[in-house]
Amino acid sequence: MKPVTVIMKSLLPALAVACWVTQAFAQCSEMVYSKPTEERAALLIDSIEGNALFSLVEGSGDHGRVSDLCIALFTEEGRFVAKTTTNPKGEFSFSGVLPPIGRYRLIASSKAFKDLNVLIELKQTPDTDPEKRNRILLHMRLKSLRSPTYATLLSVKEYQDRERR
């Protein structure tokens, strides 16, 4: 009887992770295109990658990274292209997807944070110079806050320097 108990105890963490992953992807599968409530200028990028950060209080500044944030990519007209989630460090990318140059909508959604809908414009060729390549920073805000969610750009070099601190 003891070996069965040991096996069951060793399977519990794996089962918990499987349920957690299933829940995150189930939430992501529910994402649909919605028109933005406020139109802003497109963020000019060379690859669709970045980080999601969050704040627990009103105003500017970020307090941590958002893991398991659902992020979907749509054409500007609203046609679904791809989806992904942020990793434990808040990082995301659409590395397996090679959409043609043009304008897209990046929509980030979670149960805890306000949705973010940002217009991005994908440049023709990625720049290899880390001073010139950009990452998208998604600044997520709790649904209970008045502050809006928003997105900014950060060069890959600035990101690397920030990670070293």
Distance of CA 5 to the CA centre of its chain: 39
Query: Residue 19: its pLDDT value, please?
Result: 34
Query: Residue 130: its pLDDT value, please?
Result: 62
Report whether pLDDT(75) > 70: yes
More confident residue, 4 or 82: 82
pLDDT tens for each residue of 6-39: 444 554 443 333 333 334 444 676 778 888 877 8
Average pLDDT over residues 39-63: 85
More confident residue, 64 or 24: 64
Report whether pLDDT(140) > 80: yes
More confident residue, 14 or 158: 158
The domain locations on the chain are 31-164
% residues pLDDT > 90 (the chain): 37
Under the banding of pLDDT at 50, 70 and 90, the label for residue 93 is: very high
Q: Which CATH superfamily is domain 31-164 in?
A: Carboxypeptidase-like, regulatory domain (2.60.40.1120)
Instruction: Give 144's contacts (C-beta < 8 A, 6+ positions apart).
Output: none
